Amino acid sequence: MIRIDSVTKRYPDGTVAVDRLSLEIPDRSITVLVGPSGCGKTTTLRMINRMVEPTEGTILLDGEDVQRQPVTTLRRSMGYVIQNAGLFQHRTIADNIATVPRMLGWGKRRARERAAELMERVGLDAALAGRYPYQLSGGQQQRVGVARALAADPPVLLMDEPFSAVDPVVRKGLQDELLRLQDELGKTIVFVTHDIDEAVKLGTMVAVLREGGRLAQYAPPADLLSHPADAFVEDFLGADRGIRRLSFFPSDALELTTDAVVPADAPAERLAASDAPYLLVTDAHGRPLGWRERGSGGDRLLSYGRPFRPGTDSLRAALDCAVLSPTGWAVAVDADGRVTGVVSQQTIGEAIRAAHTQAAPDPDADAARGEDEKVAG
């Protein structure tokens, strides 16, 4: 565990970048520091590995004050990933990844084998090993940066806005890759971002910082969205925080229907038998082709939009699919892309109301818990 205890960073001109910050960062989790520009996110991150020295307070790593550790030893025990990857332009991709192992005294062959292993783990083609950073795309360079940070298998990974310089599609892929890697490796990750959507998606815990480096709220993403601590946090989360909250409600309980799903070669009698205003046409393998308006002739089909996977995707994803569909219905598919049913916006709305009801706090239980805490105190 990383424990930040009443840490302040004050510069000689009197500027306070971080003000009496206290956080407990749990092991094997992703803790995200988020907030407006100038709120001390990066300063806090750099105080953990002593790239910036705190003015007051202590930072403990597994109970040991980081100030009492040799700075080079401390930094080599932590992976560090920054925006634009920060790769050595004169070194090949394999040599970039092998940097820390070589500094730790690993043999060249062992370090190269580790680099090859990590390239595969982060989704990089082995053929890229001999290339140089300028020959790679921005997304590929960021993957190299992550691989390099993981090379010596550090227990702690510090990430300073690592995905902010790439386009939204690549960024989503990198976020998904990080979650996959974390599921496999279980690192203690401290991640800095200014993007609340990224914080909510990645964070096990999210720390919202105010200007001046003061902590506004520290909570799991779902709690943060449900119960912002004050007007500042509520405003920072944005007017659509309710939509974001739907990301934490599963879609597996949605009532799907197959009445409006028909194969492309369905007989005319079956098409006429359906009362649905639109019919979802599927191919011979059960995959969606598009929507046909009931009673319309010809082969023209409306787009079915983006499908969702019940049990994997959230209610937010299902609602998004329905809203973007020209028919107002979302298409559900299995892992192989075969249609398992369709669901209307109305049904999704009913599921959302039911989820909110189940998630709503019980006033009586809260009151009883409060009485118990008074007694315990």
Tokens representing residue 282 in the block: 């599927």
Whole-Å CA distances, 193 to 35, 108, 235: 8, 35, 17
- 206 φ, ψ (degrees, to nearest 5): -125, 125
Residue 263 CB coordination number (10 Å): 15
Residue 92 CB coordination number (10 Å): 17
Find the angle CA(207)-CA(173)-CA(31) to the nearest 5 degrees. 15
Q: Could you give the CA distance from residue 287 to residue 126 in angstroms, rounded to a whole number?
A: 34
Give the largest CA-CA distance in the chain. Answer: 83
Same fold across 2-247 and 261-356? no
pTM of the model: 0.83
Whole-Å CA distances, 32 to 146, 217, 368: 17, 12, 33
Domain 261-356 has CATH 3.40.605.10: no
User: Per-residue pLDDT for the chain (377 aa), expressed as one digit of tens each?
Assistant: 899 999 999 999 999 999 999 999 999 999 999 999 999 999 999 999 999 999 999 999 999 999 999 998 899 889 999 987 789 999 999 999 999 999 889 999 999 999 999 999 999 999 999 999 999 999 999 999 999 999 999 999 999 999 988 899 899 999 999 999 999 999 999 999 999 999 999 999 999 999 999 999 999 999 999 999 999 999 999 988 888 899 999 999 899 999 899 998 877 666 665 677 889 999 999 999 999 887 666 578 999 999 999 989 999 999 999 999 999 999 999 999 999 999 999 999 999 988 877 766 544 444 433 443 333 33
E-state strands within 166-233: 188-193, 205-210, 214-219
CATH of domain 2-247: 3.40.50.300
Q: What is the DSSP letter of 302?
A: B
Tokens representing residue 307 in the block: 């499908």
Q: Of the candidates 135, 117, 134, which has an alpha carbon nearest to the alpha carbon of residue 126?
A: 117
What residue ranges do the domains of the chain occupy? 2-247, 261-356
